[in-house]
Structure 1
Amino acid sequence: MKIKFLLINAIDISQPLQTSLPPLSLGYLVSSLRAEFGNDLIDFKITDREIAKTLKSYRPDIVGITCVSQNYNYAMKYAKLAKKRNIPVLIGGTHITVLPTTMTRDMDVAVIGEGEMAIRDLFTLFLKKKEFVKKDLIGLKGLAFWSGKKIILTEKRAPIVPMDSIPNPARDLMRIEKCTHVFSSRGCPYRCVFCASSRFWQSTRFFSAGYVVKEIKYLYETFGVREIDFWDDLFIVSKPRIKEIVRLLKNEGLLGKLSFSCAVRSNLIDESMVKLLKKLNVKGVSMGLESGTPRILNYLKGATIDIKDHMRAIRLFKKYGIEPSASFIIGSPDETREEIMQTFKFIKDSKLRGFGVYVLTPLPGTPIWEYAKERGMVDENMDWSTLNVEFLENHEEAIILSETLSRGELFELIKMFKAEQKKRYYIDFLKHPINIPRHFYHFLKDKITPRLSPA
């Protein structure tokens, strides 16, 4: 009889963005286990909801949970439900990697960092003994586990090299639509003070162009995918790799048959890069512009980028018909209202059609977390939902780092940005009516399409 492995994506299912993304991180774990053990020893199920019901009906032998910090309350809840049934619980993801000491007693083993090799080691043990024994765990790298009242951390596991040794994620266990996402790299060479992802990955590594194109071809032929968002922290780090992706797509007869979007950084944008992205058939890019004032931009992103980079990037993307969108952050500790209004003016002057504005949030593993911790604003026993970055939903509980503006003042400023955002949205409808059916389709899909876990 097969071992049943239930993988839980601990997310807020009320948030369309979270539910719309297939949990590729869990898919990588499944494909790694299949590569190691074949298809006859382990049965898999991935879900993000109705956990109590699923535990009862599926009756897993082992449970694995992944989550980010703002969803850690869900992870703790699901671990408790599993432990009530005496099911071993594994926990992984960004949060537990940067704060392993937040493991609860309902969690047996935490995977620190990348999980593809660690999960193989853990299942090698579990398939033999049907439990995790401390003397066995101590010899494995990249883990945390309980020993009495103490949490034991084992030796750090090295990043996986080469990346191409990682099998494509098991998308057969997920709902894949015509617009989906792909990871073509891990990590980012920059260290923005608010970003947890770059601290999780530590270094920047790439899947080869051949690996990426093979995955694109599989999605095109198997699932009918026609739009792909490269979900990398920063897709454009290696220009030669992008050139090779273009060449290989052309060889496969796929160039121009799919459109792409990706994350970029304004200081890396010049005319040659934009032309290359245009050749790849990139239709939209997202940029973390963060601020329209030099002082705050330097605080958030460092000295390698400036406002002129932002303006040049926006101008070049518009020149070549690639739609730029951007995110901004307000509420840095000593940022003034006048500086925030400069960011507002920058957005208006730039004529960006798409943008989002967030209040600075202290995510674990970042310098901003340490800043907040030193001031007693966060700790390891906090309500993790207060880290929800959707400030309009969470403004009464959100952690306010600003020393110049009150919670109420930040709330009014965010509403001002949101009003401008809505105005741009309606202008886009009027100027580009061809976009209306697409927007309406996605609106209905988020509202009425049930997002069921695969059987």
Structure 2
Amino acid sequence: MKIQIINPPHLSIGSRMAHEHLPPLGLLSVGGPLIDAGHEVTLLDADYYNYKIEKVVDLILENNPDAILLGHSGSTSAQPIIQEITQKVRQKNDKVKIIVGGVFPTYHWNEILEEHPQIDYIVCGEGEEVILNLITAIENHADVEIIKGLAFNLNGTPFKTAPAPVIKNLDDYRIGWELMKGYNYTYWGKRKAVVIQFSRGCPYPCTYCGQSLFWKKWRHRSAQSLADEMEMLHKEYGVLVFNFADENPSSNPKAWREFLEVLIAKNLKLILVGSIRADNIVRDAEFLHLYKKAGFERFLLGIENYDEVVLEKIKKAGTISKDKEAIQLLRKHNILSMATYVVGFGEERARDFYNSWKQLVSYDPDQIQLLYVTPHKWTPYFEDVKEQEIILTDQRKWDYKHQVIKTQYLKPWKVILYVKLIEITVQLRPKALKRLFFHREARLRSAMRWYTNIGRRVWFWELYQFFFVTKLTRDKVKMKDFWK
């Protein structure tokens, strides 16, 4: 079959403000098995070019595929765009099979199929095996009702089959890296880059995060297999930067250390960045030198909040002391730390923002990123806030960089000003500026300048968007009513 995989254009800061793009790993992951099964597969990365929806539709119709597959890593905020694209495609082509996947469709399959009958199938959960079974069934005109992990309209009614089994061996399905041909994916200052995963899933039950629910079980790839793949990408594609998309790559310290050692043995001189739990950094203190030797230059640490009570409520399973210790350990080994801090877990007042600022200053991270809590219906946290009102009904902007939940004590304009004030004062501290201009490692100075330049654009852009573009609702809309 002729299959076109589509990464839709997206409004988020990551897509529009960095002026750099990473390949859509999820789409490449389902593309590889389809190529290996003999199908003709192409990638249309409309997010890379920021195509208008009409342009995306025209390119799809011009290619005239038998099936189109759509998904985006920003699943919630991308879904309205996917729905508009598919509706316009269906109006002009009633034969093409339209298939979507991702976290949001997995949990909102019923509403999507009810409201958007142009979508033929929704892949629920991990896609590699499900999409392969589905395309095979479509090609052979076979019954799709027996395929696990699938949702579709059956006799006009949304229907979902039994959940697909978890993929036990992540090395069983090859990533279709060749689909990147024609795209110059870069990151970390215009260096050739890809997104990669050592593992899937997370063993921690943070109430606001749906990753442990979506992936079901934490699993990891073979250390040798992943290292070999990275070597291939480096030598054949010129990839220098590897951005780890793992929720928690070091959950198994033995397996993680093995991977670091295997990669170090290849002596590839790569740049690695990723996210990790602060307590795992503290746990791995004795072999953090291997992190550095393997090529890690920055880790994102989810600090989330200054209040131990709030951290316990959202089941973060972290402590303030370990957060601070992790940042100090990373600095000792010349690895940058980015602390992410989430606004909205409590009913903040002005003093709470002050306390948040004090905590971030005491942590002294190299970089910070403030986000807004974005409750998803499938997370346990949704039950805590379902009765609260929301101020933003444009789902396309549910991207963690826009305030969604109404705050009781502060107007939205005050919230964003406090957020912007924290960001600029923390980043302009003498300590932070000294590291920015005089860090002893030239590569890290370059990395921090790159991030600072993006951050400066984002800082002004967010203020402009809030005051002149984003429309907040004046209606009283409760969270539970928005996600009916």
For the aligned residue pairs, the C-alpha RMSD in angstroms reads: 2.7
CA distance in 2: counterparts of 1:169 and 1:427, whole angstroms: 43
CA distance in 2: counterparts of 1:342 and 1:199, whole angstroms: 32
CA contact (8 A) 1:196 1:364 kept: no
Counterpart for residue 150 of structure 1 = 157
CA contact (8 A) 2:261 2:290 kept: no
TM-score by length of 1: 0.85
Tell me by how many angstroms 1:402 deviates: 3.3
Tell me by how many angstroms 1:56 deviates: 2.8
Counterpart for residue 328 of structure 1 = 341
Aligned-partner residue type, residue 355 of structure 1: I
Whether 2:407 is the aligned partner of 1:402: answer: yes
CA contact (8 A) 2:3 2:40 kept: yes
Whether 2:171 is the aligned partner of 1:164: answer: yes
Structure 1 segment 187-226 matched on structure 2, within 5 A: 187-226=201-240
Counterpart for residue 189 of structure 2 = none
Correspondent of 1:42 among 23, 40, 50: 40
Counterpart for residue 453 of structure 1 = none
Whether 2:31 is the aligned partner of 1:30: answer: yes
Counterpart for residue 60 of structure 2 = 55
TM-score by length of 2: 0.80
Whether 2:291 is the aligned partner of 1:296: answer: no
Counterpart for residue 463 of structure 2 = none
Counterpart for residue 358 of structure 1 = 371
- Structure 1 residues 428 and 364, CA, compared in 2 at 3 Å: closer, same or farther? farther
Counterpart for residue 468 of structure 2 = none
Tell me by how many angstroms 1:354 deviates: 0.5
Correspondent of 1:417 among 409, 419, 422: 422
Whether 2:331 is the aligned partner of 1:308: answer: no
Q: Gapped runs of 5+ residues in structure 2?
A: 187-191, 458-484
Aligned-partner residue type, residue 335 of structure 2: I
Counterpart for residue 389 of structure 1 = 400
CA contact (8 A) 1:70 1:385 kept: yes
Correspondent of 2:362 among 345, 349, 366: 349
Tell me by how many angstroms 1:418 deviates: 2.9
CA distance in 1: counterparts of 2:391 and 2:173, whole angstroms: 36
Counterpart for residue 394 of structure 1 = none
CA distance in 2: counterparts of 1:284 and 1:147, whole angstroms: 48
Counterpart for residue 276 of structure 1 = 290
Tell me by how many angstroms 1:157 deviates: 0.6
Aligned-partner SS, 1:160: coil
CA distance in 2: counterparts of 1:71 and 1:370, whole angstroms: 24
- Structure 1 residues 376 and 328, CA, compared in 2 at 3 Å: closer, same or farther? closer
Counterpart for residue 10 of structure 1 = 8
Tell me by how many angstroms 1:341 deviates: 1.8
CA distance in 2: counterparts of 1:14 and 1:97, whole angstroms: 21
Aligned-partner SS, 1:229: strand
Tell me by how many angstroms 1:96 deviates: 0.6
Q: Gapped runs of 5+ residues in structure 1?
A: 392-397, 448-455
Structure 1 segment 254-265 matched on structure 2, within 5 A: 254=268, 257-265=269-277
CA contact (8 A) 1:96 1:112 kept: yes
Greater shift, 203-212 or 428-437, is seen at 428-437
CA contact (8 A) 2:372 2:404 kept: no
CA distance in 1: counterparts of 2:397 and 2:306, whole angstroms: 27
**Percent identity among equivalent residues?**
22
Aligned-partner residue type, residue 76 of structure 1: Q
Tell me by how many angstroms 1:121 deviates: 0.8
Greater shift, 22-31 or 415-424, is seen at 415-424
CA contact (8 A) 1:283 1:323 kept: yes
CA distance in 2: counterparts of 1:237 and 1:439, whole angstroms: 28
Aligned-partner residue type, residue 249 of structure 2: F
1:81-101 CA distances to partner (integer Å, 9 max, x unpaired)? 221121221010010112111
- Structure 1 residues 147 and 383, CA, compared in 2 at 3 Å: closer, same or farther? farther
CA contact (8 A) 2:110 2:159 kept: no
Aligned-partner SS, 2:342: strand
CA distance in 2: counterparts of 1:251 and 1:357, whole angstroms: 37
1:71-114 CA distances to partner (integer Å, 9 max, x unpaired)? 21101111102211212210100101121112221111100001
Correspondent of 2:102 among 85, 93, 105: 93
Whether 2:123 is the aligned partner of 1:123: answer: no
CA distance in 2: counterparts of 1:100 and 1:246, whole angstroms: 39
Counterpart for residue 279 of structure 2 = 267
- Structure 1 residues 368 and 59, CA, compared in 2 at 3 Å: closer, same or farther? same
Aligned-partner SS, 1:20: coil
Correspondent of 1:75 among 54, 74, 82: 82
CA contact (8 A) 2:42 2:179 kept: no
CA contact (8 A) 1:63 1:82 kept: no
Aligned-partner SS, 1:45: strand
CA contact (8 A) 1:187 1:198 kept: yes
